[in-house]
Chains A and B, each alone.
Chain A
Amino acid sequence: MNMPRNGSLCVYIGLTLALFAGVALVPPGLVLGRSVWVDGRFTIAAYREVLAEGRQWSLLRNTLAIAGGTAFFATVLGVVAGYAVACAGRRMRRTLVCALAVPFLIPPYIATVAWVDLLGRRGYAAKLLELSYGDGASPPNLYAVSGVIFVFSLVYYPLVAFATFLALRGFDRRFEEAGLCVAGKGRVFRRITLPLVGPTILTGTLFVFMLALVSFSTPSLLQVNVYPAEIYSRFSAFNDFSGATAHAIPLVFCGVAALTAWGLYMRQSRPWLTGAHRPRNAAGRRSGHGAAALVFTWFLVAISTALPLGALIRRAMPARSFFEALRTAKEEITTTVILASAAATLVTALAFSMAYLERLRLLDSATRTGAGGLRGAQRGSGGALHRIFALSAVPFLISGPVLGIGLILTWNRPGLPALVYDTLLVVVLACVGRYLFFAHRGAGACLTALDPALEEAASVGGVGWRRRVTGIILPLLWPSLVAVWGLTFVLSVGELEATVLVCPPGQTPLSVRILTLMHYGPSRLVSALSLITVLLILAGAIVTLVIYGYARRRVHVRG
């Protein structure tokens, strides 16, 4: 099948590339350019100065310890929880999946506020310990690297849990059974089970690592120095633009290193991932381990959900605080819903377009080289397009404030229409820039799992690319795209770090409003607004789940 070359496809490709460049390439590029082009000449003095500072090691150590520690603990917790979900019966599985989603739906800065309330120096735990054991007793120090890892692990472990569940669900146990005929359990686990489920779990781990790597709010609230916090300090304490940008480079380097390692591992393991045709495992594989995992997971859900939400509710009482918060923040709530919906829609559309262009390119390449269709082509290089789209990680890795400055440099210039910068659209672009990487990976994975034979057959029958997209790809893929939409909606509601620099006058999202009010600590209003934010996210997640369920049923009926 040749990659179709006609006018409408050219427009489609042009629009996709232009939008991708506008959110993912130009803002980081302009920031980088401005940091090395100072007073009309090229200089890397800021980078030299930053690298020469002795505190780089402590920043790198803290940043990597938090990202690595969170990835490790979230993976340990997530694998157990994912295993428990896979072992659960159908009804309990549904409940457990919903319960596991809640910790991830609480934005990290809100979870941090709640945990400070619980485990802080004057928190509920401290008071309880003091009552029980006297003055000397105190809870472990939350204001440390370990505290940040603790909070992040309890927020992000559901990502690994869902990845584990998906891996176990798509895993054909007949491989294990065949292996056990000739080898011991340990060897079968190492040589068969782990290579089969590892890549999907590792993808969850990678997402957790990336999210923890660039997060500013939690380390900042817990007073731990990391690169994103240092970038803020450089901007704010020193007015040092170049220095701030230079501090984003180690983040990009760490992120790219993690992505490269993941890519190499995935390339090796790719044949195992093409198993969409394999039968799903039956639910309810009860065992002693499974029961223990279920008990542990419910305990984990209680710790990661009930405790922080309980602390917020306790702080927000009496109930009239909610009505007061609703009354004073009506505009912010509306702005947040509009903003997050628009961002999720745009990022999903762009991510799908990018993934589809890559697929077209792969099909084209496979046909030309005789590699045997899409599956054959996937084993080879993705080409220039794949490498360009891999840069979608950059706006996420350079951290929110640097991306915010990049968006200002890109869109706020004389001659450009005010349509973008003077409206919420610039905040939408900030969210798109930050979360495109995740959406692109998600859309790409969904498209990869789609059997190319359908499209190939349609193409042979003379069906054009637009009809193939609207008639075959989108109807089959839209449950997955709904899931991608839901994920980016959730992330966009909580987005803060770039938004705070670009939100237009008079249009404040809820996240920014909460931070504005946090000067006075976790007050009643802040807690009430935080709970409203969580409810908004939950509502978005429920809508997504309902549409997802409906879409899946429709696809099954068609299938």
Chain B
Amino acid sequence: MGLLSMILVFAGCGCGKEDTPAVVVYTALDEMYSQPVLRAFEKQTGVKVKAVYDTEASKTTGLVQRLIAEQSRPRADVFWNNEVVQTIVLKNEGVTAPYVSPAAKDIPEQFKDPDGHWAGFAARARVIIYNTDLVADPPTSILDFTKPEWAGAAAIAKPLFGTTATHAAVLFATWGDERAKGFFVDLQKNDVAVLAGNATVRDMVAQGEYAIGLTDTDDANGAVEDGLPAKWIMPDQGEEGMGTLVIPNTVALIRAGPNPQGGKALIDYLLSPDVERMLARTRSIQIPLKPGIETPETVPNLTEVKAMPVDFAAAAAQMAASARFIQQEFLR
């Protein structure tokens, strides 16, 4: 059995040459949403896609570290991230290559890299989720999480990983160190719970463990679709509000990947309106960045959302410093 398995390891795993070279994509978007898109690409082009999905344990960054480690001989052609900042980290590490896709031309400039290393599509937004059995008048700003009325009743995900880490870095970049640190200290003083991830925040709020929480549109919508006693709102939408953080998926070509032509074809496909439409119709209700894409009613329209003006490159530069403060002071 052992010898047979050794033979199978060699025989079944890439020693044989395929007619059309496959495209290798590392994707941080949840498998349940990204796999159908990749299958549709295969069906449309006949090019096989081999995917490595990210896991809950390693979050986005397991793949990012892997891409950095593989830099001397990349195995991936494309990196499909579910947020922006780690893609910029890859660009800064020299892992990505510039590729300006013709499909990216009508994507708003703030969601594209000026040097063409990445482009954004299908976004999520940070939202406040609240338990409808416990809360009649939900907070309207993330600053409300520091108010005494929500002491011990609010939850956020650990701001070292995923979109919560991106959110923290963006706050540091937008507000400056002093104000951002003050905000996190106030959260700590107000006994805000720090949970494992955004999905846990959603679950805990829906179960009534906490009254309010900060999470993403995809997680919050899951609770609503499951008929749980939860609703969500976009924070900071008033005239004086700073807007909510809109985080697009990003896609980048890997420098010196084994199949650059296939990689470019996949990038063109991912940036097409079809993919934004497809992702908008999933439970994750991802928000199209391109204008004129018809979506279900539950999906927010980007033109009606007050989005936080963000310099993602500055946020990426702040990432290490904000994470260090959060680990050493906020999560002590």
Give the chain B neighbours of A435 by CB distance below 8 A: none
Give the chain A neighbours of B68 by CB distance below 8 A: 239, 241
Whether B8 lies near A413 (C-beta < 8 A) is no
Q: Kindly specify which of A167-175, A267-275, A496-504 makes contact with the partner chain.
A: A496-504
Whether B58 lies near A236 (C-beta < 8 A) is yes
A511 → B minimal CB distance (Å): 9
Give the chain B neighbours of A506 by CB distance below 8 A: 22, 50-51
B190 → A minimal CB distance (Å): 20
How many chain A residues touch B (Cβ–Cβ < 8 Å)?
61
Option from B53, B56, B58, B207 in Cβ contact (under 8 Å) with A508: B53
Give the chain A neighbours of B22 by CB distance below 8 A: 505-506
Can you pick out 8 interface pairs between chain A and chain B where the beta carbons lie within 8 Å of each other? A235-B61, A341-B1, A341-B2, A424-B13, A425-B10, A501-B69, A504-B50, A504-B75
Q: Kindly specify which of A146-154, A196-204, A287-295, A404-412 makes contact with the partner chain.
A: A404-412
Closest 8 CB pairs of A and B: A345-B2, A236-B61, A341-B5, A505-B50, A506-B50, A423-B13, A515-B55, A237-B160
A5 within 8 A of B: no
**CA A505 to CA B63, docked complex, whole Å:** 12
Q: Which residue of B lies closest to A121 (CB)?
A: B209
Give the chain A neighbours of B324 by CB distance below 8 A: 238
Whether A236 lies near B161 (C-beta < 8 A) is yes
Whether A237 lies near B61 (C-beta < 8 A) is yes
CB within 8 Å for A238 and B323 given contacts A223-B196, A512-B55, A515-B55: yes
B290 → A minimal CB distance (Å): 27
Whether B8 lies near A418 (C-beta < 8 A) is no
B187 within 8 A of A: no
Option from A237, A339, A412, A485 in Cβ contact (under 8 Å) with B70: A412
Give the chain A neighbours of B73 by CB distance below 8 A: 412-414, 421
Whether B30 lies near A519 (C-beta < 8 A) is yes
Whether B56 lies near A515 (C-beta < 8 A) is yes
B73 → A minimal CB distance (Å): 5
A123 → B minimal CB distance (Å): 11
**CA A525 to CA B89, docked complex, whole Å:** 34
Interface residues of B (CB under 8 A from A): 1-6, 8-10, 12-15, 22, 24-26, 30-32, 50-62, 64-66, 68-70, 72-73, 75-76, 89, 160-161, 165, 196-197, 199-200, 203-204, 207, 209, 222, 320, 323-324, 327-328, 332
Q: Which residue of A lies closest to B57 (CB)?
A: A515
Give the chain B neighbours of A418 by CB distance below 8 A: 14
Give the chain A neighbours of B75 by CB distance below 8 A: 412, 421-422, 504-505
A251 within 8 A of B: no
Give the chain A neighbours of B59 by CB distance below 8 A: 236
CB within 8 Å for A235 and B56 given contacts A504-B14, A505-B50, A516-B31: no
Q: Please report which residues of chain A, range 340-390, place their CB below 8 angstroms from some CB of chain B when the two chains form the complex.
A: 341-342, 344-346, 348
Whether A122 lies near B199 (C-beta < 8 A) is no
Q: Please report which residues of chain A, range 221-239, place their CB below 8 angstroms from some CB of chain B when the two chains form the complex.
A: 221, 223, 232-233, 235-239
Give the chain A neighbours of B204 by CB distance below 8 A: 121
Q: Which residue of B lies closest to A496 (CB)?
A: B57
B227 → A minimal CB distance (Å): 16
Q: Which residue of B lies closest to A517 (CB)?
A: B31
B313 → A minimal CB distance (Å): 16
Whether A342 lies near B8 (C-beta < 8 A) is yes
Q: Which residue of B lies closest to A520 (CB)?
A: B199
A216 within 8 A of B: yes
Give the chain A neighbours of B4 by CB distance below 8 A: 341
**CA A504 to CA B12, docked complex, whole Å:** 12
Whether A342 lies near B64 (C-beta < 8 A) is no
Give the chain A neighbours of B58 by CB distance below 8 A: 232, 235-236, 500-501
**CA A268 to CA B270, docked complex, whole Å:** 66
Whether A519 lies near B197 (C-beta < 8 A) is yes
**CA A518 to CA B200, docked complex, whole Å:** 11
A338 within 8 A of B: yes
**CA A337 to CA B68, docked complex, whole Å:** 30
Whether A233 lies near B160 (C-beta < 8 A) is yes
A448 within 8 A of B: no
Give the chain A neighbours of B161 by CB distance below 8 A: 236-237
**CA A235 to CA B6, docked complex, whole Å:** 32
A389 → B minimal CB distance (Å): 22
A474 → B minimal CB distance (Å): 14
Give the chain B neighbours of A344 by CB distance below 8 A: 2
Give the chain B neighbours of A423 by CB distance below 8 A: 9-10, 13-15
Q: Which residue of B lies closest to A348 (CB)?
A: B2
Whether B57 lies near A216 (C-beta < 8 A) is yes
**CA A516 to CA B200, docked complex, whole Å:** 15
